[in-house]
C-alpha cells in the first residue's frame, strides 16, 4: 500500500511542471513527426494512433450528444468503425460524424497546451487514462491489442524514462497528431475522387445537411490546418524565440 508520503510524491510527480526541454529538442521532434507523416511505411504504422483518436472522437461526441455507444472496432488496415444508437438524423448524429476527422488535431492541440505549461508527465498519464477508458468500448481483438500496446508504451515512458526522454516522446507524439490530423483529409479527398469511399463521414454529413460532401472535406482540412498553426505556435514559439535571442 502507498504511504501518505508516497501518495504525495506521486501527486507532485503527476501535477508538477518538468524542466524546459532544449529548443533543439522541440524543433527536432517536429522534424521527426513530419518525416513519419510524410513517408509511406512509417505513416502506415503510426497511422493507427490517428485512427484511435478519430474513433475516440466519434465515441466521445456520441456520448456527449446523448447517443448510446455500441462499440468501437479498429482494423489492421488502419481503418475503424464506431457504432452508436439513436436518431439517424439531427444535431447529435451530425456532431458525431463531424468529430472524427477533427479529433486527432484537437487532441494534439490539447496536448500542445499541456506541454506549453511543461506538464509532460500529466499529458502522458492523461493519455494512458483515455486509452484505458476507450479499451472498454473496443469490440475486436486487433483493437484491444492496439490500445494495450499503445497504452503500455506510453505508461512505460511516463514511469521509467528520464525527463529528456519523456519530453522527446511527448513532443513527438503531439507534433504527430497535429500533422497527422491533416494528411487523412487529403487521403479522404483522393479516395472520394476515385469513388472508393462512398460512405465516408463527409458523404454521410452531406445526406444529413444541405451542404455537399466536398464542403465537409474542405471544412475538415481548414479546421485542422488552423489547429496545426495554433499548436505549432504553442510548441515551437518559445523555442524559436530562444534560438533567435
In whole angstroms, how far apart are CA 235 and each of 20, 21, 78, 241? 12, 11, 27, 11
Q: What is the pLDDT of residue 4?
A: 65
Tens digit of each residue's pLDDT (9 = 90 or more) over 10-66: 555 666 666 778 888 988 999 999 999 999 999 999 999 999 999 999 999 999 999
SS3 at position 3: coil
Q: What is the pLDDT of residue 197?
A: 83
Measured CA to CA, the distance from residue 96 to residue 111 in angstroms comes to 22
Measured CA to CA, the distance from residue 202 to residue 62 in angstroms comes to 17
Residue 193 in domain: yes
Q: Do 220 and 101 form a contact (C-beta atoms < 8 A)?
A: yes
- Domain total of the chain: 1
Residue span of the structural domain in which 236 resides? 29-54+103-244
Tens digit of each residue's pLDDT (9 = 90 or more) over 178-215: 999 999 999 999 999 998 888 899 999 999 999 999 99
32: its cell numbers: 521527426
- pTM higher than the cut 0.85: yes
Q: Judge whether residue 162 has pLDDT over 70.
A: yes
SS3 at position 74: strand
Residue 209 in domain: yes
Residue 17 in domain: no
Q: Judge whether residue 169 has pLDDT over 60.
A: yes
Residue 6 in domain: no
* Residue 9 banded pLDDT, cuts 50, 70, 90: low
Residue 89 in domain: no
Residue 64 in domain: no
Tens digit of each residue's pLDDT (9 = 90 or more) over 108-140: 999 999 998 889 999 999 999 999 999 999 999
Q: Judge whether residue 6 has pLDDT over 60.
A: no
As a dihedral over the C-alpha atoms of residue 208, residue 214, residue 216, residue 221, rounded to 10 degrees, the angle is 170
Q: What is the pLDDT of residue 195?
A: 85
Residue 96 in domain: no
Contacts of 153 (CB under 8 A, 6+ apart): none
Q: Judge whether residue 244 has pLDDT over 70.
A: no
Tens digit of each residue's pLDDT (9 = 90 or more) over 21-32: 888 898 899 999
Query: How big is the chain, counted in residues?
Result: 245
Q: What is the DSSP letter of 77?
A: T
Q: What is the pLDDT of residue 117?
A: 87
Residue 138 in domain: yes
| CB-facing half-sphere around the CA of 179: CA atoms within 13 A | 21
Amino acid at each position: 500500500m502507498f504511504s501518505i508520503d508516497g501518495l504525495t510524491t506521486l501527486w507532485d510527480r503527476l501535477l508538477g511542471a518538468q524542466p524546459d526541454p532544449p529548443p533543439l529538442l522541440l524543433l527536432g521532434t517536429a522534424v521527426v513527426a513530419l518525416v513519419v507523416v510524410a513517408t509511406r511505411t512509417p505513416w502506415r504504422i503510426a497511422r493507427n494512433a490517428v485512427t484511435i483518436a478519430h474513433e475516440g472522437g466519434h465515441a466521445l461526441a456520441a456520448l456527449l450528444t446523448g447517443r448510446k455507444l455500441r462499440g468501437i472496432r479498429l482494423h489492421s488496415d488502419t481503418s475503424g468503425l464506431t457504432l452508436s444508437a439513436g436518431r439517424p438524423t439531427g444535431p447529435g448524429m451530425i456532431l458525431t460524424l463531424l468529430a472524427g476527422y477533427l479529433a486527432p488535431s484537437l487532441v494534439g492541440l490539447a496536448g500542445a497546451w499541456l506541454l506549453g505549461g511543461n506538464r509532460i508527465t500529466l499529458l502522458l498519464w492523461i493519455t494512458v487514462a483515455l486509452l484505458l477508458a476507450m479499451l472498454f468500448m473496443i469490440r475486436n481483438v486487433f483493437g484491444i491489442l492496439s490500445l494495450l500496446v499503445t497504452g503500455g508504451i506510453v505508461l512505460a515512458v511516463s514511469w521509467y524514462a528520464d525527463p529528456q526522454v519523456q519530453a522527446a516522446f511527448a513532443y513527438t507524439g503531439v507534433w504527430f497528431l497535429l500533422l497527422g490530423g491533416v494528411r487523412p483529409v487529403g487521403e479522404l479527398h483522393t479516395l472520394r475522387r476515385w469513388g472508393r469511399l462512398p460512405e465516408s463521414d463527409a458523404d454521410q454529413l452531406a445526406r444529413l445537411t444541405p451542404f455537399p460532401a466536398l464542403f465537409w472535406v474542405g471544412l475538415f482540412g481548414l479546421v485542422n490546418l488552423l489547429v496545426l498553426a495554433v499548436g505549432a505556435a504553442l510548441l515551437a514559439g518559445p523555442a524559436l524565440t530562444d534560438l533567435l535571442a
